[in-house]
Amino acid sequence: MIVDITEKSTIIRRASASGVLCVSPTVVSEVHEGATKKGDVRNSASLAAILAVKKTPLSLPHCHPIPIEGCNVEWQEVENGLKCVVTVSTTSKTGVEMEALCGVSTALLCAWDMLKPILKDSSGQYPDTKISDITVISKLKIPTEN
């Protein structure tokens, strides 16, 4: 079932989500320098985030397909790795939190995939790599003028 939102008002909605790919400072440096074999990690992962935001209802069947009017992806180098923040905006009857969460999750997965050759240990495992702290950091609703 998809929740009926027919009676809800169309308003401006914005949500931001963030998460961290926990990696060593050496890996962060390689990303910063663009020295990875698979190319620019942040650029590729940002594109993956945007695609995930646009396709959220295909992954989460209870989400309404809504017009995505804005999507911004930012990266920060943090003490324990690479932090991604995805902000999504729309003018719609339902929010964009799930879109922001899908975007940040996909960006971090894409980054991990691109970094696999330098993240694996000698037995092919990832003992020091994890994705953490995925959360909605803000949600905004602004009524539109009629």
> Which is nearest to 81 in space by CA: 123, 15, 32?
32
Q: In sequence order, what DSSP letters do the residues of 70-131 get, joined into one string? A: EEEEEEEEETTEEEEEEEEEEEESS--HHHHHHHHHHHHHHHHHHHHHHH--TTS--TT-EE
Token representation of residue 93: 């009857």
Active-site entry in 113, 121, 128, 133 = 113
Spatial contact of 48 and 113, defined as CB atoms under 8 Å apart: no
Known catalytic residue: 121? Answer: no
| CA neighbours closer than 13 Å in the CB half-sphere of residue 51 | 9
- By annotation, the residues acting in catalysis are 113
